[in-house]
Amino acid sequence: MSGIILLAFLTGWFFITKKLTIFFTSTVQSETRKKWLTPFVFTLVFVSPVLDEIIGGFQFRAVCTDKNMLIYDEKSVKNKTLLYFHLSREYVKNTVIPIEKIISAGMDITTEKTLLKRTKYQATGGWLSRFIAFNNITRPYTFHGVCGVKDELSQLERKLNIKATYK
């Protein structure tokens, strides 16, 4: 059903974009300029509803790097039972779309010392995604909005025999 709604929206937006392109380029006198300006204006107007997500996707990929995503000392976490909990949640500043940085920690349950930290980034969609909100979901439409080390952490737990509990 949502696919049909999306196709209807895209079809309607295509015709609106076509009319807006004609309106914006109608005052251009030179046929040569009109030939290259019309497709440029059409493309710009057509992608404008998700342009913030396109720019936000570049910002998200720049923020989400492997550096400092999983911090631990191999000797101190080996054969331990760790209690995982959230340390902090904060929004990354100066981004086009909201990007949340979530830091979790793994604490040794016997010594209560933090032995592991992991970082996860989660993006919310642009204005169109938040406006439509299919099923109350506001994820980005143009890129996968979650970045973390879930797979790497599970591999590390198997490799170093770490038992996990969650708070």
Residues spanned by the domain of 21:
2-59
CA distance 67 to 119: 10
Q: Whose structure tokens read 């949502």?
A: 2
pLDDT of 37 > 90? The answer is yes
pLDDT single digits (tens) 111-149: 989 999 999 999 998 888 777 776 677 888 888 999 988
Residue type present at position 107: M
Number of structural domains, the chain?
Answer: 2
Give me the pLDDT at residue 17, please.
95
Same domain? For 38 and 95 the reply is no
Same domain? For 53 and 69 the reply is no
Same domain? For 115 and 159 the reply is yes
pLDDT single digits (tens) 63-117: 988 777 888 888 888 998 899 999 999 999 999 999 999 999 999 988 989 999 9
pLDDT single digits (tens) 42-59: 999 999 888 999 999 999
Backbone dihedral angles phi then psi of residue 66, each to the nearest 5 degrees? -70, -15
